[in-house]
Amino acid sequence: MMNKNEITKLAEKARQGNKTAFEKLYKEFYPKLYYFVKQNVSAPDAAEDITAETFCSAMEHINELHSSESFVGWLYCIAYHKCMDYNKKTALDRKCLDDAAEFAALGEPLFLPDDYAVNEQAQRQRQSAQLRSVFPWH
């Protein structure tokens, strides 16, 4: 287990482009970060992907790290945001599937995004026609 001073030195080297330093940080923090992610996502099997994505983002944006001393907090912040994005996306996907199942159960037609665009245009045309019938000068 590395101490704070060792982590800071490695983070600084990684900021300077030293891939070996970043690899050491990866090996040190992967198990801890994986556990953190696993606790924060709704699907534990996604934790590995999110952890890997976190390290990829960290490596790509290491130059944006303001202080090497804050590497650990910065890394966990990236992971946390990725967890929240994942949870929002899966909740939205679940809602869409639930809505589709509900419409199917009711025998209602299921509209695709293109259908909504066409229906919005038709709705605007109907509203315009209604306005003209009530307000001829419109």
Q: How many CA atoms lie within 13 A of 49 on its CB side?
A: 9
pLDDT in tens, 10-51: 999 999 999 999 999 999 999 999 999 999 997 778 999 999
Instruction: Find where tokens 């199917």 sit.
Output: 104
Averaged pLDDT score across all residues of the chain = 80
pLDDT at position 49, please?
93
- Whether the full predicted model's pTM is greater than 0.75, yes or no, is no
Task: Please give the Cα distance from 13 to 2 (Å, whole number).
Answer: 15
Task: Please give the Cα distance from 69 to 17 (Å, whole number).
Answer: 17
Q: Is 122's pLDDT higher than 80?
A: no
